[in-house]
Amino acid sequence: MENLKIDSNFWEIFPEATVNVLTVDGLDNHVSQKRDEEMVHVLNTASEKAQKYLTEEEFSKNEIVKIWREAFTKFKKKKGARASIEALLKRVSQGRSFQPINPLVDLYNSISLEFGVPCGGEDLDKIEGSMHLGIAKGGEAFRPLGEEKDEPALSGEVIYYDEQGAICRCLNWRDAQRTMLTETTKRAILVIEALDEAQQARAFSAIEALNKRIFEYFGVSGNIEVIKQEEK
């Protein structure tokens, strides 16, 4: 069974994209003081490594920020929506620290920082039917993390979705509460996108590093799939 299906309308916007997918089973994602202490170290180390992506004094002129802002002009989006990697790098640029969330989220955030790529994850057991990446029709149900009311997807927005609604809005901007990774997550799907050839090698290295880090931490190894547009 395919864990992620990519709709043809996504390739119409991003024909050179690759989507790196890692699926993992057998996780023990519980939170503890010892694990939090470990994750603080992992995140601090990753934050230091992310400094190499912030070479320009003006934040918006840094290469990774420019690349993803340009990508976000190609589809309908909610005002203020930014790529997840930009939000992480913004914290680094401001000298703000990262607090642990849960081990799996902390690990993928550390990889995102180290490699300068967006990374997201969902609980596979909470996804209804197949998970898709494509263009929203508009109105797909979506309740963001930390919110008490729905904020449905916009028509023309790039979203991850399933039979019940949107899973992640504006490509990789914000996850839904419904499918988020929690302490009880046993099976997960993790995704790293690259939108052109220049980003592909770094994104693939990142998904391999994430798989290795998950194995070192959880003792389980996942399955990697790289999805590209089929040649005609």
DSSP assignment of 77-103:
--TT---HHHHHHHHHHTT-------H
Q: What is the structure's pLDDT at 146?
A: 82
Q: What is the structure's pLDDT at 24?
A: 98
pLDDT tens string 108-163: 999 999 999 999 999 999 999 999 999 999 999 999 988 889 999 999 999 999 99
Q: Tell me: pLDDT of 198 over 90.
A: no
Q: What is the structure's pLDDT at 115?
A: 97
Q: What is the structure's pLDDT at 231?
A: 65
pLDDT tens string 71-81: 999 999 999 99
Q: Tell me: pLDDT of 2 over 80.
A: no
Residues of the domain holding 170: 5-228
Proportion of the chain above pLDDT 70, given as a percent: 99
Q: What is the structure's pLDDT at 1?
A: 42
How many whole angstroms from its chain centre is CA 221?
19
Beta bridge mates, 122: 189
Average pLDDT, the chain: 95
Q: Rounded to an integer, what distance in angstroms lies between the CA atom of residue 137 and that of residue 57?
A: 39
pLDDT tens string 4-49: 999 999 999 999 999 999 999 999 999 999 999 999 999 999 999 9
CB 117 within 8 A of CB 85: yes
Q: Tell me: pLDDT of 232 over 80.
A: no
Phi, psi of 52 (to 5 degrees): -65, -20
Q: How many domains does the chain have?
A: 1
Q: Tell me: pLDDT of 195 over 80.
A: yes
The DSSP symbol for 176 reads: B
Check which CATH number belongs to the domain holding 160 and give it: 3.50.40.10
Q: Rounded to an integer, what distance in angstroms lies between the CA atom of residue 71 and that of residue 138?
A: 20
Of 187, 179, 217, nearest in space to 24 by CA: 187
Whole-model pTM: value is 0.95
Q: What is the structure's pLDDT at 148?
A: 84
Q: What is the dihedral of CA 179, 182, 185, 187, to 10 degrees?
A: 50
